[in-house]
Homo-oligomer: A and B are copies of this chain.
Amino acid sequence: MSDLFPKKGHDHDRCVHSAIAQAEKVCDDASARFTDMRRKVFTLIWQSHKAVTAYELLDALTSEGQRVQPPTVYRALEFLTDLGLVHRIESLNAYFGCDRPDCDHLGQYFICTECGRVAEEVNEDMSNAVRKAAGNVGFAIQATTVEIKGLCHDCATH
């Protein structure tokens, strides 16, 4: 059985640093600015492997000092999602950092209802099944939302 959710006790600083490095590259390639605010929001999203709501981000930013307003966070989120650095999890109204922002993909999200962690997979069998089903009915895909809730292996076995 392959891993998908990160191991407990993994070196999470590596996750964060790698994500930031990739984000810098993606922004650079797109001639987009990875500003302080965007970096703060992005880093907060990567604090855990859970999805984070806009207002959790607001609270975190506010407790750091002066009051941050909703549009500030939503703008940063829009920027990050447009560039594919962050994905919105529709069934949670929350946001999740992508670990492969360099390539275009139709991701699928496994959401553990016990520990709250989210894992993104890019599974060609699933993507192909979706594409084929769409093709069968003459539907031209623009975007897909595939979110699977349940128990991750750790939570199912402990």
Interfacial residues, chain A to chain B (CB-CB below 8 A): 1-5, 90-91, 108, 110, 112-113, 119, 121, 123, 125-126, 128-130, 132-134, 136-153, 156-157
Identical chains bound together, number: 2
Q: Given A90-B91, A144-B147, A146-B145: A2 and B130 within 8 A (CB)?
A: no
Name the distance in Å between A53's Cβ and chain B's nearest Cβ.
Answer: 15
Query: Within 8 Å CB of A146, what residues of B?
Result: 130, 144-146
Name the distance in Å between A8's Cβ and chain B's nearest Cβ.
Answer: 15
Name the distance in Å between A132's Cβ and chain B's nearest Cβ.
Answer: 7
Contact assessment for A1 and B144 in the assembled complex, using a CB-CB cutoff below 8 Å = no
Name the distance in Å between A110's Cβ and chain B's nearest Cβ.
Answer: 5
Query: Within 8 Å CB of A157, what residues of B?
Result: 138
Contact assessment for A143 and B150 in the assembled complex, using a CB-CB cutoff below 8 Å = yes
Specify which of B134, B149, B152 is in contact with A148 (CB 8 Å cutoff).
B134
Complex CA gap A108/B142 in Å reads 15
Contact assessment for A136 and B1 in the assembled complex, using a CB-CB cutoff below 8 Å = yes
Instruction: Identify 7 new A-B residue pairs, CB closer than 8 A, beyond the known A1-B136, A140-B151.
Output: A90-B145, A90-B147, A125-B133, A130-B148, A139-B150, A139-B152, A145-B145
